[in-house]
Chain A
Amino acid sequence: MRAVVAFVFALVLASVQAALLRYLGGGAVPVAMVLPIVVYLALHAGNLDGAVGAASVGYVVDLMAGEPKGLMMFLAVALFLCSRLAASGLSVQGAVGFVLLSGVGTFLYGLAALLLTRAVSPAESAPTFSLLGRMFTEAWFTGMLSPLIFAAMRWLDGLMAREDPSLLR
């Protein structure tokens, strides 16, 4: 159920982001609003539920901007696993931890995408490391916005966890 919620929320968020960026610098400001969902799943979902949710978020990113297909889905599951490891190793807690994990995760996600794209692209169309600055900006803005995504995901989790009143009778 969490995976379905993550998928639908990622789809809504990606659409809203595309429409809003038109008014905020016309795309000059890069941001990846769906990636904090994966970080949230890493911190609050089970292994399987979270991995499926992360894969579904990756599918959405693939649909929106991924080519060749599959890369973003793979990276989303990898981000889920790395965030989970980092969270358990560094005991990430609170909003600051979430912001840091989202920002760093987004930057590493972009970096891995760049390296893997370079691995399969012909030399003339391979992305260059000059994009690192833009990726850093993307990570910064994503980290700054991540508390909003965190709050939204927690609200959605609350909706799902709410007990059916009829069961209490």
Chain B
Amino acid sequence: MGFIKRNREVILVAALLVLPLGVYFAHARHPSERSRLDRMVLALTAPMEKGVSRAVGAILNVWNGYIALHHAHERARELERQVSVLKLKEMEFQRVKEENDRLHELLAFAQATPDWRVVGARVIGVRLDPKGLQVITIDRGSEAGIVRMMPVMVGGGVVGRVHAVASSTADVLVLTDRNSSIAVRVERSRARANVRGTGSPESCRLEYALRSDDIAEGDVLVTSGTDGVFPRGLLVGKVTGLKRSGQGLYQRADVAPAANVTKLEEVLVLFPSEERPPAKAAGEAPQAAESTAGGKP
């Protein structure tokens, strides 16, 4: 007892070091879901992320719409000021047009996949951690009917799949995460392979492509639908650096993802048609495109 009392601090610090390591190795063999405590703590962060996101957006709006204009007023003559105002308006129109184009693109995608329903969501957080998971946080969660493993898209291509869900937010594991593996097909030759993330947001790699398969640089990769997560035919990326060695079963290549995960603003979460997303609460502002694709009721 005397020994424990004397070395209480050392024992407790050692326990703090050893216990998490034990948990890590245990979870490495048997991955588990987040605990209730984890979910509760994460739920606390969602309002903060939303709040900061809104505050920064508001500051940027004020900056673009007022302070920058004020500086122009001090510097320029009346005519120049009017030009500045018009330019700002043009930029605003351009921004609205670009947003409109993006939403049109999402809508076009939604209408082209009649077997899937889609829910639009805005990106409110980004964690592309080089030493951990590469996730983005979206502002829709289980209240919108989102569950784990649902595919997430933008008009340009596959973004990833839902990794964890809280009531009003969800984490999406992006396709560039090293734990992400998507079954794909080369659109030109129909050869099959997998696209796996590398942990770097701008590249993935092609795996399990047989050496005898017809694959060339620039080939477009689409989902094959065989992984049970993504519907077939969604754009994933392009083959860039093809390496075909003289031996071995497989050829290897780099893949440039079609969706740029560092520039996401709105995304679509895909629901299989039998899983209907719940209706939104009355009075809630629409976040992005929400569609019953293919004109189905």
Contacts and interface: CB of A to CB of B under 8 A. Distances in A.
Interface residues of B, number: 60
Interface string A1-24: 000000000011011101111110
Contacts of A21: 125-128
A6 to B, nearest CB: 13
A28 B133 contact: no
Interface of A is mostly: helix
Interface stretch (B92-100, B141-149, B197-205, B281-289): B197-205
A114 B131 contact: yes
A131 B199 contact: yes
Contact of A78 (B17, B42, B135): B17
Contacts of A71: 20, 24
Given A15-B45, A74-B21, A128 B198 contact: yes
Interface in A19-69: 19-23, 25-28, 30, 32, 47-48, 51-52, 54-55, 58, 60-61, 63-69
Nearest first, the 7 closest Cβ-Cβ pairs linking A and B are: A65-B132, A70-B23, A70-B24, A18-B125, A68-B27, A26-B262, A27-B128
Contacts of B50: 19
Given A77-B20, A120-B25, A138-B130, 5 more contacts: A14-B45, A27-B127, A51-B12, A121-B178, A138-B131
B186 to A, nearest CB: 20
Given A18-B137, A47-B13, A125-B178, A11 B132 contact: no
Contacts of B239: none
Contacts of B16: 51-52, 54-55, 77
Contacts of A69: 23-24, 27, 32
B178 A11 contact: no
Contacts of A51: 12-13, 16
18 contacts: A12-B48, A22-B53, A28-B128, A28-B262, A47-B13, A51-B16, A61-B132, A63-B41, A65-B129, A65-B132, A68-B24, A70-B21, A70-B27, A72-B132, A116-B24, A121-B28, A124-B196, A128-B199
A19 to B, nearest CB: 4
Interface in B14-44: 16-17, 19-29, 31-32, 34, 38, 41-42, 44
A81 interface: yes
A67 B164 CA distance: 12
Contacts, number: 173
B100 to A, nearest CB: 20
Contacts of B133: 65-67
Interface of A: 11-12, 14-16, 18-23, 25-28, 30, 32, 47-48, 51-52, 54-55, 58, 60-61, 63-74, 77-78, 81, 109-110, 113-114, 116-117, 120-121, 124-128, 130-131, 134-135, 138
Nearest to A25: B262
B49 A47 contact: no
B31 A30 contact: no
Nearest to A22: B126
Contact of B52 (A11, A15, A55, A125): A15
A28 B201 contact: yes
A69 B125 CA distance: 21
B41 A30 contact: no
B74 interface: no
Given A22-B53, A58-B20, A11 B130 contact: no
Interface string B104-121: 000000000000000000
B49 A15 contact: yes
Contacts of A117: 131
A55 B12 CA distance: 12
Given A18-B49, A25-B262, A58-B20, A134 B200 contact: yes
Contacts of A121: 28, 178
Contacts of B12: 48, 51
B131 A110 contact: yes
Contact of B42 (A25, A63, A131): A63
